[in-house]
Amino acid sequence: MSEFWMYFNIGLKHVLDINAYDHVLFLMALVIPYAFKDWKNVFVLVSLFTIGHTLALLLSVFGVVNIQASLVEFLIPITILITAVFHLFTAGKSSKNESITFVAIVTLFFGIIHGLGFSNYFKVILPGNTSDKLLPLLEFALGIEAAQIIVVVVFLIISYIVQTFFRFSKRDWALVMSAFIIGVVLPMIIESEIWNR
């Protein structure tokens, strides 16, 4: 049981680490247009992100995929930028007729990219035998999912407060948050190692 909590906590801290805020930024960008009433869609998207993250770790840990770390570290803020720009341009537009399928597929793919960013560290902390790696990976994934739900709930509470008590429209909230996230993520892209070659 203590091993479960160890890997669960690693997953939890992976998302909630203040020094690695890219994960939180992506989650914020992902749920900008949603409210508590959309909890099913939010849960599906967050879970797909976790599945993508876990799939990438599986592929990496078992030696199926090996991608250069500097490329992944460049792609992670790009996923955040794309998500924020998407919501910047779709802010205030009715999404009732739109399917969540496109956003879900992209979220799964972006989860894979984010998972690859953590794969090298995760390979180091895993037990040696291949058969021993699956359970810790699932325990880690549960920690990630729990942390992501915490982040999303806090963000939706802030969103509700701002829109209800400060009279921000849903559109204005989406514009402000998208612009804020873009402003934070652009320096991450510019400072990426990939430009220093």
The model's confidence at residue 109, banded by pLDDT at 50, 70 and 90, is very high
* The pLDDT of residue 193: 84
Does the pLDDT of residue 113 top 80, yes or no? yes
**pLDDT over threshold 90, residue 132:** no
Q: What residues have CB less than 8 Å from 143, skipping those under 6 apart?
A: 7, 8, 9, 10, 11, 12, 13, 14, 15
The mean pLDDT value for 138-142 works out to 92
Q: Which domain holds residue 108?
A: 3-195
The one-character DSSP state at 126 is S
Which whole number is the average pLDDT over 125-132?
A: 72
pLDDT score of 92: 77
H and E: helices and strands count for the chain: 7, 0
Reported as a pLDDT band with limits 50, 70 and 90, residue 130 is low
Which residue type does 106 have?
V
Residue in this structure with the two tokens 């998972």, named with its chain if needed: 115
Q: Per the structure, how many domains does the chain have?
A: 1
Which residues 6+ apart lie within 8 Å of 12 measured at CB?
143, 144, 146, 147
Please name the residues in contact with 54: beta carbons below 8 A apart, sequence gap of 6 or more: 115, 137, 138, 140, 141, 144
Overall average pLDDT of the 91-112 stretch? 82
Tokens 């739109």: give the residue.
98
| DSSP letter (8 states) at residue 100 | S
DSSP 8-state assignment for residue 132: G
> Which pTM value belongs to this model?
0.93
